[in-house]
Structure 1
Amino acid sequence: MIQVTIWNEFRHEKTNPVVQEVYPQGLHGQLASFIGEQFSVKTATLDEPEHGLTEDVLSETDVLIWWGHKAHDEVSDEIVARVHQRVLEGMGLIVLHSGHFSKIFKKLMGTSCDLKWREDGQHCRIWNVNPSHPIVEGVGEYIELEQEEMYGEHFDIPAPDELIFVSWFPGGEVFRSGCTYRRGNGKIFYFQPGHETYPSYYDKKVQRVIENGIRWCAPTENNYPTYGHYEAREGANNE
């Protein structure tokens, strides 16, 4: 069974009554409630020792899901480097919503990952632009959310390896809201929905995308490559 670790900053839920009402068990708790039906799940949060991402936890994680917002700078650079190395070794990473501004996502992308945003409570239409991709299996042509924070272009990320979703907002903005990347042996999926005051993670299609993303991001059986000095396989020394 795929081993999933859900990492959540877990700050808004402690101080904001609106977030507490929408996600009484925390965003990580809601994510775990449906992810745990198909995968082995553990959770980790910012204020735990080592942010809950110890060497042992990460070594047993096939796919790490990341949600953060207002405390990106509080994440230890040492833990970021640890997660980064695990991605290069083959661990999958799913970055949700405002996790686009996390240290780990910016380190993997090598850009500012900045964008336009507006929190106005309007609806969002997330168009499936890659209908044969396994991440969109069972989703249909689009996802309609009654409320979602507007994210708009330009989104300062490298050109995605694969563009999965493009979102439209009533203000006229569009946004590359589902993107995949490969770094080292690891696969990365960025998925935009998930503002903390809106119930996006209760939507069945959003849940289906995250579940499909876990399967896609999960490590393969491919071995981690050998780097550094390498003895010749052919030639006089091997005759």
Structure 2
Amino acid sequence: MVTVTVWNEYRHEKEDDEVAAVYPDGIHATIAEGLREAGYDVQTATLDDSEHGLTESVLDDTDVLAWWGHKAHDEVEDAIVDRVVDRVRGGMGLLVLHSGHYSKPFKRLMGTTCSLKWRESGEKERVWVVEPGHPIADGLPESFEVPRAEMYGERFDIPAPDELVFTSWFEGGEVFRSGCCYTRGKGRVFYFRPGHETYPIYEQAEIRTVLDNAVEWAAPGDGPDPYFGNADPIEDLD
């Protein structure tokens, strides 16, 4: 069974009554609930846990790490960032959700600012499936609507995705690359835009389908471990 760790700052929910009303047990709990229903073995971790909940033993037991952060990116210790990035390059999958675009691990793995335009006005978002044959799009219609969303707009300062699965359009006219796939070392990284803290987006069926599919896609495979360094010849040399 694929094991998933859902990481969340868990600050908004404890400090803002509006957020607590939407996610009373934390955004991580709602995401974890959906993934458990999909059949995954799920644990959670938060910023204020010891070592941010991402100890060596936790990561040893993690096939895919889902990351949600927003207001406390700078509080994540660099040693933990190093640990997460090394695990991704070694084969652990990483799902970066919504405002996690500005998290330290994602920026490190992308090598860019990961900056974007934004507007919080509760407008409609239409998510278009632009790569219908991709496994992350399994079970989805050609497009689906998020009734109320925070706008993210281009330019999104990321490297060109290896594969772009979703593009979003907003009522205000902006568009955004909202489902981006990357490979870093042996690990797979998926960035998914929808998921603001004051809207119940992680309870929406289509969003849960995406996260379910993304975990399966990002889970480590059984490929060989590469060898680096001085190497003896495989064939006989004259």
* TM-score between the two structures when normalised by the length of structure 1: 0.97
Distance 1:229 1:42 in 2: 40
State the one-letter code of the partner of 2:81.
V
Summarize deviations over 1:152-188 as a string: whole Å, max 9, x none. Answer: 0000000000000000001110000000000000001
Tell me if the contact between 1:143 and 1:206 (Cα under 8 Å) persists in the aligned partners: no
Secondary structure of the residue aligned to 1:29 is: helix
Distance 2:60 2:225 in 1: 14
1:191 aligns to what?
192
Summarize deviations over 1:57-81 as a string: whole Å, max 9, x none. Answer: 1011000000000000000100001
Tell me if the contact between 2:123 and 2:172 (Cα under 8 Å) persists in the aligned partners: no
Q: Deviation above 4 Å: which 4+ runs of structure 1? A: none
Q: Does 1:223 align with 2:201?
A: no
2:74 aligns to what?
73
1:9 aligns to what?
9
State the one-letter code of the partner of 1:107.
R
2:27 aligns to what?
27
How many residues of Structure 1 are paired with residues of Structure 2 in the alignment?
237
Superposition pairs for residues 175-214 of structure 1, below 5 Å?
Answer: 175-214=176-215
Summarize deviations over 1:100-124 as a string: whole Å, max 9, x none. Answer: 0000000000000000000001111
C-alpha RMSD over aligned residues: 0.9
Secondary structure of the residue aligned to 2:149 is: coil
C-alpha displacement of 1:228: 1.8
1:233 aligns to what?
234
Distance 2:130 2:168 in 1: 10
Secondary structure of the residue aligned to 1:147 is: strand
1:134 aligns to what?
135
2:58 aligns to what?
57
Tell me if the contact between 1:90 and 1:224 (Cα under 8 Å) persists in the aligned partners: no
Identical-pair percentage:
58
Q: Which runs of 5+ in 1 are unaligned?
A: none
Distance 1:80 1:139 in 2: 33
Distance 1:9 1:224 in 2: 33
More strand by share: 2
Tell me if the contact between 2:91 and 2:187 (Cα under 8 Å) persists in the aligned partners: yes
Distance 1:7 1:230 in 2: 39
Tell me if the contact between 2:5 and 2:62 (Cα under 8 Å) persists in the aligned partners: yes
